[in-house]
A = this chain, B = another copy of it.
Amino acid sequence: MAGLDHTHDPGLRSWVPGADGHADFPIQNLAFGVVAPSGEGPRAGVAIGAFVLDLPGALAAGLVEGEAGRAVAAMREPALNGFLALGAGPRRALRLRLVELLREGAPERGAVEPLLHPAASCTPHLPARIGDYTDFYAGLHHATSVGRLFRPDEPLLANYKHVPIGYHGRASSVIPSGQPVRRPNGQTKPRDATAPLFGPSRRLDYELELGIWIGPGNALGEPIPIGRAGEHVAGFCLLNDWSARDVQAWEYQPLGPFLAKSFATTLSPWIVTPEALAPFRTAPAPRPEGDPQPLPYLDDPRDREEGALAIDLDVVLTTPALRERGLPPHRLARSDARHLYWTAAQLVAHHASGGCNLRPGDLFGTGTISGPDRAQAGSLLEATEGGRIPIRLDTGEERRFLEDGDEVILSARCRREGFAPIGFGECRAVILPAL
């Protein structure tokens, strides 16, 4: 496995209380983000257990120097774009230094400790200014299930297994976890209506995706070869691509989803780096028998070996009634990032193949990651077969689509024998009623 070093040692321990064995952010993770501690302005930070280390503070205190210091100095504005642009070298140098500062017995503990903020008292911000947001459709089972609802005879279109299908999304309405989402109004045309209506969406849905943060960019007109595509990936997060299915059905032809998706997209606020994910790299799921080989510009031997990520994904729902009665959230789905048909490197290489320029801080969504079974469906559209089969909750409530006050929470976990598990933090939002 490439890129492993002492920072991945499962025996590595931190002096930060609760960091060892933390579900998301043990010292082996060290995810980067931007947060505003209570009553203070936003700044760059690194997640460690249930705390956030103030990185500009660490720089000012002389705790990070050299290449690692330059990495923190690039976290201006506060947004991580300048840091993302630097690529793997400074990112790794900073990781190494952070392990030195945060590991058990670190002599700098006394200087670092005052720079820790309890994560619970921090407001998450987006980690970077997103230049462009592209949403792909790389979840094979999602594309098949959704396609079957619309085209029972031809669920997957002829291009699907050749072209990493994607579309441009809306960057302005990407928001960090925790910010509520207002149910959109929009044009819909019920099947029995003679004319369209304008009003609140009645088929509000979530979509379980991974987000991919772009690091160094490429110049306009200059493609990125597949063998170097990984160098342009700065990290991963969770992404909920909220979707108004009734608006989508009426508006999407012939140019694709537009307002049905652009009212909000929620991200988990931490960038989990390729370094942290190195132990969880794996071969993509084998292509189904008879599937075409990727064209050469999408094919790379190393990517075939370890281009995918073993990430368990989890979606739960809480409703006002569940919360009032103190009942646990209802699990909507468990899935796995290995269900993606295309790797992150293939998405990057395809996106740039015609010369389109990527910029540091651009965001990709992978597309909804569903497994083959209904319990692995990454959207309600799939789980309820287009709203036909309701989900029953412990309160006796039913859900075909999301109702006001519902909250959807995505989480993820990477596990591998011999390594400390790491996670992504939460990606959550509650639905507000339409205006």
Contact = CB atoms under 8 A, between A and B. Distances in A.
Interface string A185-223: 111010000011010010000000000000000001111
A296 interface: yes
A163 interface: yes
A263 B355 contact: yes
Contact of A355 (B184, B196, B258, B350): B184
Interface in A288-346: 292, 295-297
Contacts of A350: 259
A148 interface: no
B354 A166 contact: no
A147 B258 CA distance: 19
Given A182-B355, A221-B435, A359-B172, A167 B253 contact: no
Contacts of A253: 157, 159
A163 B250 contact: yes
B262 A167 contact: no
Contact of A251 (B163, B171, B201, B297): B163
Contacts of A185: 223, 353-355
A17 interface: no
Contacts of A359: 172
Interface in A348-392: 350-351, 353-359, 362
Contacts of A170: 132, 168, 356
Contacts of A114: none
Contacts of A157: 253-254
B171 A132 contact: yes
A173 B223 CA distance: 13
A278 to B, nearest CB: 29
A157 B163 CA distance: 25
A187 B251 contact: no
A11 interface: no
A255 interface: yes
A192 to B, nearest CB: 14
Interface string A218-262: 001111000000000000000000001001001111111111101
Interface in A131-166: 131-132, 137, 147, 157-159, 162-163, 165-166
A169 interface: yes
B222 A435 contact: yes
Contact of A220 (B173, B252, B255): B173
Interface residues of A, number: 65
B262 A172 contact: no
Contacts of A220: 172-173, 175, 182, 263-264
Given A157-B253, A255-B137, A257-B255, A354 B186 contact: yes
B256 A254 contact: yes
Contacts of A189: 158-159, 162
A258 B432 CA distance: 32
A189 B255 CA distance: 20
Given A198-B296, A220-B264, A356 B173 contact: yes
Given A169-B168, A173-B357, A264-B220, A163 B182 contact: no
Contacts of A222: 435
A238 B260 CA distance: 28
Could you say which of A166, A182, A187, A292 has the most chain B C-beta atoms within 10 Å of its C-beta?
A187
Given A187-B295, A187-B353, 5 more contacts: A158-B189, A185-B353, A221-B435, A255-B256, A263-B355
The 5 A-B residue pairs with the shortest CB-CB distance in the complex, in nearest-first order? A256-B256, A184-B354, A168-B168, A167-B255, A182-B221
26 contacts: A131-B171, A132-B170, A132-B171, A147-B254, A157-B254, A158-B189, A159-B187, A159-B189, A159-B251, A159-B253, A162-B196, A165-B255, A167-B168, A168-B170, A171-B171, A172-B356, A172-B357, A173-B355, A173-B356, A185-B223, A185-B355, A187-B295, A198-B297, A221-B432, A256-B256, A263-B355
